[in-house]
Amino acid sequence: MPIFRLPHSEVPYAMKDTRGNLIRTLRQRLGMTQEDFAHDVGVTVSTVNRWEKAHSEPNKLAWKAVRELAASRGLGDLAGAAAQPD
């Protein structure tokens, strides 16, 4: 059975280290639902879903809110890994 691959990549999707995977991991480690996470970050649930599926990425303000949420719950190290590039 062929492995599903992203059209623009040779890396299998399940193995790709995306920011969406980092956001999902952070949310899960915080023990939050997408709804709770969205509320605390100040976005909609559908926005969090799009981030986690790598259909979009947080803007600078949203990244800041994600980092602050993680830091306030003692997971600043993981949020740093998801920090927006320069």
Model confidence over 19-43: pLDDT tens digits? Answer: 888 899 999 999 999 999 999 999 9
Q: Tell me the CATH number of domain 20-81, given options 1.10.260.40, 3.40.50.1970, 3.90.1150.10, 3.30.420.40.
A: 1.10.260.40
Q: What is the value of pTM for the model shown?
A: 0.71
Q: Which whole number is the average pLDDT over 43-52?
A: 96
Give the domain ranges of the chain: 20-81
The token duo for 13 is 């999707």
Q: Residue 63 corresponds to which amino acid?
A: W
CA distance 35 to 82: 20
Give 86's pLDDT tier (boundaries 50, 70, 90).
Answer: very low
Rg (CA), the chain: 13
